[in-house]
Amino acid sequence: MQKYSKQTRLLLAVDCIVFGFDGEALKILLIKRGFQPEKGNWSLMGGFVQPDESLDQASNRILKELTGLEGVYLEQLHTFGDPQRDPIERTVSVAYFALIDINKYEKQINDDYHAEWFTLKRTPKVIFDQQEMVEMAKKRIRYKAAMHPILFELLPSKFTIPQLQNLYENVFNTSIDKRNFSKRVLATGLLIKLNEKDKAGSKRGAYYYQLNMHNYYSKFQAFMNFIPNPDSISAS
């Protein structure tokens, strides 16, 4: 037996929702689609899965081709398979989401590709069923961040506690008491204090911290769950 005869084959694509945080708001990265249909319209990073690559390989390749990003946090989100989702031909799409340090990659992205960051509240229309993918990714990132330390992926390797708090407040659309926040985040043992200050945010300056990578991996599974009144934490 060589093939499963009588079965219909179809196209398989990968779409990536790329999240970044600029200190002000959570953003996603969109590109202008380069081919028909919907050529020139805003789209997630996407492309077809090639015969010799796995889904993870495909998503990493596409992310690199379209943004120059490599080695970033990338996680499979959900697979979208409505028969009518692509008007040209049936295409099932495996959606991934990525979390990146927006500062590290911004220049590279803008120079080499026609990509742009949009705040989640002011996202333009995206093609096909991609709005649904974005909504699901937003839910997933909140859901996961409530228990796992994934949001550090959005910050530079050196960051301050006020920056971290600001990120959490943004993602969960809430405000957190800073005394309680720093107590809890320091209690995880995940942060190493550096003898260096970030002077950009204030006159006094705030100490930089970096992740204790050993504790990071060992504590990844159960980090903390300390969001008082989340806008919504819901399952994907």
- Residue position matching structure tokens 């995206």: 126
**Which of a second copy, DNA, none sits in contact with 226, Cβ below 5 to 8 A by type?**
DNA
Stretch that binds DNA, among 35-43, 67-75, 77-85, 196-204 (CB under 7 A): 196-204
State how far the Cα of 153 lies from the Cα of 65, in Å rounded to an integer. 21
CB of 52 to DNA, least distance (A): 47
Binding-residue pattern over the window 123 to 162 for DNA, x denoting contact by CB under 7 A? -------------------------------------xxx
State how far the Cα of 169 lies from the Cα of 69, in Å rounded to an integer. 26
Is-contact 176 169, C-beta < 8 A?
Answer: yes
Binding-residue pattern over the window 120 to 139 for a second copy, x denoting contact by CB under 8 A? --------------------
Q: Which helix (H) or strand (E) holds 214?
A: helix 213-219
* Interacting residues with a second copy between 11 and 70 (CB under 8 A): 11-12, 36-37, 48-55, 58
Q: Binding-site residue total for DNA (CB under 7 A)?
A: 23
- Residue position matching structure tokens 């040209």: 88
State how far the Cα of 209 lies from the Cα of 206, in Å rounded to an integer. 9
Q: What are phi and psi of 4, to 5 degrees?
A: -85, 90
**Which of DNA, a second copy, none sits in contact with 156, Cβ below 5 to 8 A by type?**
none
In single-letter form, the type of residue at position 50 comes to Q
- Residue position matching structure tokens 């969960």: 172
Residues that bind a second copy (CB under 8 A): 1-4, 7-12, 36-37, 48-55, 58, 76, 78-83, 88-92, 94, 144, 147-148, 221-222, 225, 232-235
